[in-house]
């Protein structure tokens, strides 16, 4: 089955963001879609046009995200999250964004694309590196190389603590991970890839 056919089945032949049935096309989600259906989404020409030309963004069109953001499909969640972020000066978009819960890996994926669009201060070419200069990726396991006082959580994460299944953040100097059951931001330079 082609990617297009898979997406037509998944969506019921509708735009996966606004449910329009007109002029549907497969959109491979940047920055590095593997071109499978899992990393693509079916869009109408209106959604596609506004995603590809953010300066033409018409916030009124995107109230559709109120429904589509509740999808179980990660690719659709990613695009909903990115579009809401692009409009977060709108109160309603900000409200939806606060309700939209993404799994860590989906959130990292969503944010990877936002960094590419250049609206952040981060350099897109900057990868997250550990203390040895090894590239860190979402899902990696790392070890702390020094004791870190966790502000606000009242404990010290000891040197040698293993943090599994990390997530990247929009800042390449920081990762997120769970220590003592608490999700915290860790400085990449104090970590060693396991």
Binding site for Zn ion (CB under 5 A): 15, 17-18, 20, 44, 47
Q: How far apart are CA 193 and CA 137, in angstroms?
A: 10
Cβ proximity to Zn ion: between 81 and 191 the closer is 81
Integer Cα distance of 159 and 22 in angstroms = 57
- For the bound state, the minimum distance from the C-beta of residue 98 to Zn ion, rounded and expressed in Å, comes to 23
Tokens representing residue 95 in the block? 């409200």
Q: Evaluate the omega torsion of the peptide bond into residue 116 and state whether it is cis, within 30 degrees of 0.
A: no
Choose between 47 and 112: whose C-beta lies nearer to Zn ion: 47
Classify 181 in phi/psi space as left (phi over 0), alpha (psi -120 to 50) or beta: left
Minimum distance from CB of 43 to Zn ion (Å)? 5
At 13 the three-state DSSP class reads coil
Pick the closer one to Zn ion by CB: 20 or 141: 20
End-to-end CA distance of the chain: 39
Shortest reach from residue 17's CB to Zn ion, in Å: 5
Burial of 60 (C-beta count, 10 Å sphere; 0-12/13-18/19+): exposed
**Distance (Å, whole) CA 127 – CA 8:** 35
CB of 19 to Zn ion, least distance (A): 7
Specify the residue, 45 or 98, whose C-beta has the smaller distance to Zn ion. 45
Cβ-based nearer residue to Zn ion, 12 or 160: 12
DSSP state at residue 127: P
Closer to Zn ion by CB, 83 or 85: give it.
83
Task: State the nearest-atom distance from the C-beta of 115 to Zn ion, in Å.
Answer: 24
**Residue 142: CB minimum distance to Zn ion, A:** 40
The helix/strand/coil state of 63 is helix
């Amino acid at each position: 089955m082609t990617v297009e056919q898979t997406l037509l089945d998944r969506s019921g032949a509708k735009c996966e963001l606004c449910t329009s049935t007109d002029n549907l096309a497969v959109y491979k989600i940047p920055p590095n879609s593997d071109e499978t259906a899992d990393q693509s989404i079916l869009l109408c020409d209106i959604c596609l046009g506004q995603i590809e030309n953010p300066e033409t963004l018409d916030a009124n069109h995107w109230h559709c995200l109120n429904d589509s953001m509740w999808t179980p499909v990660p690719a659709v969640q990613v695009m909903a999250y990115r579009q809401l972020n692009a409009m977060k000066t709108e109160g309603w978009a900000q409200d939806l964004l606060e309700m939209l819960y993404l799994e860590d890996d989906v959130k990292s994926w969503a944010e990877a694309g936002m960094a590419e669009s250049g609206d952040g201060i981060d350099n897109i070419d900057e990868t997250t590196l550990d203390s040895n200069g090894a590239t860190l990726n979402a899902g990696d396991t790392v070890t702390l190389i020094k004791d870190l006082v966790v502000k606000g959580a009242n404990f010290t994460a000891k040197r040698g603590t293993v943090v599994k299944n990390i997530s990247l953040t929009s800042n390449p100097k920081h990762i997120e991970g769970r220590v003592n059951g608490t999700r915290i931001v860790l400085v990449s330079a104090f970590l060693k890839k396991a």
